[in-house]
C-alpha cells in the first residue's frame, strides 16, 4: 500500500516532521513525500534514510520533488525509541565576539546580528550555548535591541557573558540576560568536546 | 494580537523603516515562504492593519507587501498576503 504526504508550501522542518509522523503511523510499504524545493527533498531523504528506510528515487515533476520511500517494518520501533530526539545534529557552542555580525557596515552588522539571534529562536535545533565576549557582551545588557531574542533563547540554552568585558565597557550592573563568566570557564568550553562556531 | 510581516524592495528601505519604527517592529529575515527582493522584513504585533498602514504612510515609508501571519491547527505558520 502507498501513502502520500503533501509537504508543498511548508516551511522547514515541517515536511520532515510530517514524514516522521507518517512513518510512525506505518500501515504502508511505500511513502511518497511531495515537496516544492530541493533542500526539503534532501532533508526528507536524509531523515528517512537515517531512520533505516530506503529512498528509491526522487522524481522531479512540475517544479516539485517526489521522494519515494520504501519503509522498513522495524522503523516504527526505532522512531519510538528515539522519540524525544528530533534529528538534530550535535548542538554547537556559538562564540560571539562582537555586537555586529560580519565586517563592513556597522549599521548592517548590528541588524544582521539581531536578525541572526531572532532566527536562532525560531530554529528547531538550537545551539547548546552562546558565549559573549568583547563587544558581544553589549547584546546582553539593558537597552540592547537583541535583548528580547536572547531572553527567549535563554529558556533553551545557556548564555555565558565575559565578566571582564562587561567591566571594561562599564556595563556590569546593566547585564539583563545570561550569567557572568570568566576566561577559565570560557576557555574550557571552547576547547571542550563540543563544536564551536565563531562569529 | 495579529502579527504582520512587511516586505520591502531593498535592504535600505527595510533599514530605514526599522529605524523610524523600531519601538514597534522587529527586524527579521524574510520568511522562506515569502518571496521578496529583500532579505530583511519587519514583524509587528503592536498595531492592527489600519494603524500599520497609517504609520507606514505617515513616516513616508515605501514597502512592498504586508502579510498576515496565520497559524493553523498543527502550529504551521502561513503568510497570507493582504490585498
- Phi-psi bin for A81: left (phi > 0), alpha (psi -120 to 50), beta? alpha
Residues in chain B with CB shorter than 8 Å from the CB of A114 are: 27
Query: Architecture of B3-81 per CATH?
Result: 2-Layer Sandwich (3.30)
Cβ–Cβ of A115/B18 closer than 8 Å? no
What digits encode the pLDDT tens for the residues A144-175?
999 999 999 999 999 999 999 999 999 999 99
CA distance A108 to chain B (A): 8
Percent of chain B whose predicted confidence (pLDDT) is above 90: 71
CA distance B32 to chain A (A): 7
* Residue A12 among the catalytic residues: yes
> What is the band of A81 on the pLDDT scale with cuts at 50, 70, 90?
low
Q: How far apart are CA A141 and CA A119, in angstroms?
A: 20
Residue of B nearest to A147 (CA): B26
What's the mean pLDDT in A93-115? Answer: 95
B38: closest CA among B16, B71, B55? Answer: B16
Q: Does residue A115 belong to the interface with chain B, where contact is any CB pair within 8 Å?
A: yes
Residue position matching grid coordinates 516539485: A64
Residues in chain A with CB shorter than 8 Å from the CB of B31 are: 11
Q: Does residue B11 belong to the interface with chain A, where contact is any CB pair within 8 Å?
A: yes
Residues 30-69 of B with CB under 8 A from A: 31-33, 40
pLDDT at A79 over 90: no
Q: Which three cell numbers stand for residue A148?
A: 528580547
Domains of chain A: 2-81 (3.30.110.40), 93-198 (3.40.1260.10)
DSSP β-ladder status, B3-7 and B40-44: antiparallel
CA distance A188 to chain B (A): 33
CA distance A115 to chain B (A): 5
Confidence (pLDDT) at A86: 64
Q: Which residues contact A66 (CB under 8 A, 6 or more apart)?
A: A32, A33, A34, A58, A59, A60
Confidence (pLDDT) at A110: 95
Residue of B nearest to A115 (CA): B28
Confidence (pLDDT) at A73: 59
Confidence (pLDDT) at B55: 95
Residue of A nearest to B18 (CA): A111
Each domain of chain B, given as residue ranges in start order, spans: 3-81
How much is the ipTM here?
A: 0.75
Cβ–Cβ of A111/B27 closer than 8 Å? yes
Q: Does residue A114 belong to the interface with chain B, where contact is any CB pair within 8 Å?
A: yes
Q: Which residues contact A36 (CB under 8 A, 6 or more apart)?
A: A7, A8, A9, A63, A64, A65
Q: CB–CB of A69/A54 below 8 Å?
A: yes
- Mean pLDDT score across all residues of chain A: 88
pLDDT at A74 over 60: no
Amino acid at each position: 500500500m502507498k501513502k502520500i504526504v503533501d509537504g508543498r508550501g511548508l516551511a522547514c522542518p515541517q515536511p520532515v516532521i510530517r514524514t516522521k509522523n507518517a512513518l510512525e503511523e506505518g500501515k504502508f510499504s511505500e511513502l511518497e513525500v511531495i515537496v516544492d524545493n530541493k533542500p526539503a527533498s534532501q532533508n526528507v531523504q536524509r531523515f528517512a534514510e537515517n531512520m533505516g528506510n530506503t529512498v528509491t528515487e526522487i522524481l522531479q515533476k512540475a517544479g516539485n520533488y517526489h521522494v519515494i520511500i520504501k519503509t522498513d517494518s522495524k522503523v516504527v520501533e526505532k522512531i519510538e525509541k528515539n522519540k524525544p530526539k528530533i534529528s538534530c545534529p550535535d548542538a554547537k557552542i556559538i562564540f560571539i565576539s562582537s555586537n555586529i555580525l560580519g565586517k563592513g557596515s556597522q549599521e548592517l552588522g548590528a541588524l544582521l546580528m539581531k536578525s541572526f539571534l531572532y532566527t536562532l529562536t525560531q530554529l528547531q535545533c538550537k545551539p547548546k550555548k552562546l558565549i559573549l565576549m568583547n563587544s558581544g557582551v553589549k547584546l546582553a545588557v539593558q537597552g540592547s535591541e537583541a535583548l528580547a531574542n536572547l531572553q527567549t533563547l535563554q529558556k533553551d540554552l545557556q548564555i555565558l557573558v565575559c565578566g571582564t568585558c562587561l567591566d571594561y565597557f562599564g556595563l556590569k550592573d546593566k547585564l539583563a540576560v545570561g550569567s557572568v563568566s570568566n576566561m577559565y570557564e570560557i576557555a574550557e568550553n571552547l576547547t571542550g568536546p563540543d563544536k564551536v562556531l565563531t562569529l | 494580537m495579529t502579527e504582520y510581516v512587511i516586505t520591502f524592495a531593498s535592504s535600505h528601505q527595510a533599514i530605514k523603516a526599522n529605524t523610524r519604527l523600531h519601538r514597534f517592529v522587529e527586524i527579521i529575515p524574510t520568511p522562506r515562504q515569502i518571496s521578496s527582493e529583500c532579505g530583511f522584513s519587519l514583524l509587528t504585533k503592536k498595531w492592527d492593519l489600519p494603524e500599520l498602514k497609517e504609520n507606514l504612510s505617515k513616516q513616508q515609508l515605501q514597502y512592498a507587501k504586508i502579510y498576515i501571519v496565520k497559524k493553523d491547527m498543527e502550529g504551521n505558520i502561513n503568510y497570507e498576503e493582504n490585498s
